[in-house]
Each structure stands twice: as C-alpha cells, then as structure tokens.
Amino acid sequence: MKHITILTGAGISAESGIQTFRDADGLWENHNVQDVASPEGFQRDPEMVLRFYNERRQQMLKVKPNAAHFALAELEQAYKVTIVTQNIDDLHERGGSSSIIHLHGELLKSRSVKSDKRNFDCLTDIKLGDKAPDGGQFRADIVWFGEPVPKIMAAAFAVQIADIILVIGSSMQVYPAAGLVGYAKANTPVIYIDPKPAVNYEMKTNKNLRIVAEKATTGVRKIVNELLEVI
C-alpha cells in the first residue's frame, strides 16, 4: 500500500471559517502575532494571551470540517495516509482522518508553563491561576515563535517515507514546516494545492512538482478523485 503524506496549513481551515495567522501583516485576529504567540508575549500579559486562545478554542468548537477535510479522509480507503498539519484545530480528526501530526500543537490540549513533556485534555477556558499538577500555570499546548517544535522529526520522517506528497493551503514560508518537502526522496511526486501558491526553494528543486492553483475544497476533491481512480 502506497503512503501519502499530506502537509496542511491555514488555507484548509479558512474555508471552515477559522481565521488563522498567515499573511505578511503579522496579525492574527487583529493581534500582533508576537504578543499572542511568543513566550515574551505571555510573560508581558498572560491574561490576554490566555483569553486569546480561549476565544480561538470557542470559535473552533463552533465550526465544522469542510469538503477538503472529508475528501482527505477518503484516501485512507486505498492508501496509508499521514497528515502533518500546521493548524491547531481538530478539523482533520472530525473530518475522519486517523493519523495526524500536529506540528504546532493543539487548542484542545493544555500544558504547564514549566514543561512541554506532558499535556492534558482541554475543552474549556484556561484562566489565570489554573495550575497543572507540577504547580505551573496552565497554558495552551501551542508551539510559539522561538520555541522548539517537538514533532518536527516525526513529520520529517513521514515525508521521507512518502510515495506521494500533498501540500494544501500552506504559504510554505514559515520554517521549519516550510522545509519539510526537502526531506522527500528524490523525484517523489509533490502536489501543491493553493489558490496563491508560493513555491519555495525546497519545492523548486523537486522535478515532480505539480501546482493546482485552487482553493482547498475544490482542489483537494479533484486530486483525491484522481488518486482513487488510479488504484
């Protein structure tokens, strides 16, 4: 059974109504991204940062997976599929996919400010003063700018063993995630689905790159249909 590794970014969630940090203006839901997605921002105003992620979690629980999420789940009928997502929502899970690496963390998980080695289910708001078992303040289990990306090697391995790679709704500009295509075996087919594709260095060096300049819901449907037809 062939292995497809799928790299997804903000574009696939945007069609479900989730506004995600992506553009060059450095804003995320009208907040400076360094204020809400960095250790320094949390130190300056932990209450504001906690509130920001509480709002994102509440928003996420109100939206639903879209046609692209459901289409990707169909691939598991004929392929071994691993999804590596930069998104912190659970839309892939709710869309039916079973093997997902959350590169930048998950809104439905929390952890102590003292350690990133253990996380906890988190379905409700985190408030200032809420403590983990080690006594540290709870925070969203999200990888902030300047923090290590614990799952980057698992993601790189998933790309390395892939027979086919799909890149969906990602600007391919934020490293280390943007460099993952560089781990692919030589000449592994890469299909990049995005209405505004930004081909980076790692993609340009791949001789089997195919660009589908469409939004996720239509582009993914097209490619999934093709992949299932060749089986």
Which residues are designated catalytic? 104
- Contact present, 101 and 153 (Cβ < 8 Å): no
Contact 181, 159 (CB under 8 A): yes
List the end-to-end C-alpha distance of the chain, in Å, as a whole number: 10
> DSSP string of 34-65?
HHHSSHHHHHH-HHHHHHHHHHHHHHHHH---
**What is the 3-state composition of the chain as percent helix, strand, coil, each rounded to the nearest 5?**
35, 20, 45
- Burial class, 151, CB count within 10 angstroms (exposed 0-12 / middle 13-18 / buried 19+): middle
Q: CA 59, 30, 108, 95: dihedral to nearest 10 degrees?
A: 60
Q: Tell me which H or E stretch contains 104.
A: none
Q: What are phi and psi of 203, to 5 degrees?
A: -75, -40
Q: How many CA atoms lie within 13 A of 40 on its CB side?
A: 6
How far is residue 10's CA from residue 18's CA, in Å, rounded to a whole number? 8
DSSP state of 16: T
